[in-house]
Amino acid sequence: MPYVGAIYRPPSEARSFILQVTVGCSHNKCTFCSVYKDKKFQIKSLEEIEEDLKEAEPFAQHIRRVFLADGDALIIPQRKLIPIMEMVNKTFPNLERIGIYGNAKSILKKSVDDLKALKDLKLGIVYIGLESGNDEILRKVKKGDTTANMIDAAARIHAAGITLSVTVILGLGGKEMSRIHAIDTGKVLSQMDPEFAAALSLMLVPPAPLCKEYEEGRFHLPGPFEMLEELALIIAHMDVTHCFFSSNHASNYLPVQVWLPEGKEEILALIREVIQRHDRNILRPEAYRGL
């Protein structure tokens, strides 16, 4: 498969067939992000995508899920995305679900009817990076969106009947804004009310611009237990209908998985116990953390 550059996908898409329909990220300005910096955003031609699908035909009977890469494939205009989805459905007769990355901009460019049309073609889940529920932090890291837009985008996904998965980043507000970052993030997650939510822990990896801010002393990265304080605050301030929350990404110091609201008090007690013990040996070693 002639992928362009490194390919990234959500952990839950580990067993999916990865079909690269865009190259890079349509925004690609977030200061915390180190991926896609070597790629110029482009949408692949239908001919290229068709060739990739032909290569997958010998395995087509066994493929149940497909993930459309790269960083924001939902930005593809509807007139082109529909034929891509149709080709995917035609290629894989036992297809159950298509997953895709989106952002508030790409979601809000599509109407609820547009999204329903994609759902009819088996778009089953959209992954969106909220990162922080605090607008000042989003501005600082050049996310290019607001929490209001994130909430509106989530509502549109829900209205279309598509599953929503939201990612947030522990430590993104630095030490100075750690507490407000966590509290606001929990509150915005409540308004987005996703079926799935996941916390990653900030890792400063070149060429992410935030690395330079850290090296120059303009950004102060919270420590492991400070990030766990954030994790507890986020969960404590989440008021959701029914959400599977996890922090089992390789970047995290403490993997947790919990259904909310059912398991809120139990998981908060666990996190607070780990914080109170303050034993670094309990946490994932730095050598085992990764993106």
**3 has pLDDT over 90:** no
**38 has pLDDT over 90:** no
DSSP 5: S
Structure tokens at 200: 């990653």
* Distances, alpha carbon 161 to alpha carbons 10, 93, 123, in Å: 20, 22, 10
Evaluate the CA torsion angle 250, 194, 239, 259 in order and state its sign: negative
State the amino acid at position 288 in one-letter form.
Y
Q: How many CB atoms lie within 10 A of CB 273?
A: 10
**207 has pLDDT over 80:** yes
Q: Phi, psi at residue 196, to the nearest 5°?
A: -135, 140
Banded pLDDT at 37 (limits 50, 70, 90)? confident
- What's residue 139's pLDDT? 98
Alpha-helical (H) ranges within the chain are 46-56, 78-91, 104-108, 112-120, 135-140, 147-159, 178-192, 209-215, 224-236, 264-277
C-beta separation of 171 from 132 below 8 A: no
Read off the pLDDT of residues 75-122 as tens digits, 9 standing for 90 and up. Answer: 999 999 999 999 999 999 999 999 999 999 999 999 999 999 999 999
**242 has pLDDT over 90:** yes
**How far is Cα 280 from Cα 274, in angstroms, rounded to an integer?**
9
Taken as a whole, the chain contains a residue count of 291
**35 has pLDDT over 90:** no
**64 has pLDDT over 90:** yes
40 or 245: which leads in pLDDT: 245
Cis peptide before 193 (omega within 30 of 0): no
* Distances, alpha carbon 147 to alpha carbons 187, 188, 230, in Å: 10, 7, 18
Mean pLDDT of the chain: 95
Pairing of strands 123-131, 97-102: parallel
**How far is Cα 112 from Cα 97, in angstroms, rounded to an integer?**
19
Banded pLDDT at 157 (limits 50, 70, 90)? very high
Domains and CATH numbers, the chain: 12-286 (3.20.20.70)
- What's residue 284's pLDDT? 92
- What's residue 287's pLDDT? 81
Q: What is the DSSP string of 59-70?
A: GGGG--EEEEES
The lowest-confidence range among 31-45, 103-117, 185-199 is 31-45
Q: Could you tell me the pTM of the whole model?
A: 0.95
- What's residue 36's pLDDT? 84
* C-alpha angle 14-202-125 in degrees, rounded to nearest 5: 35
What average pLDDT does range 146-170 have in this prediction? 98
* C-alpha angle 133-134-140 in degrees, rounded to nearest 5: 125
**How far is Cα 238 from Cα 264, in angstroms, rounded to an integer?**
9
- What's residue 81's pLDDT? 98
**How far is Cα 84 from Cα 88, in angstroms, rounded to an integer?**
6
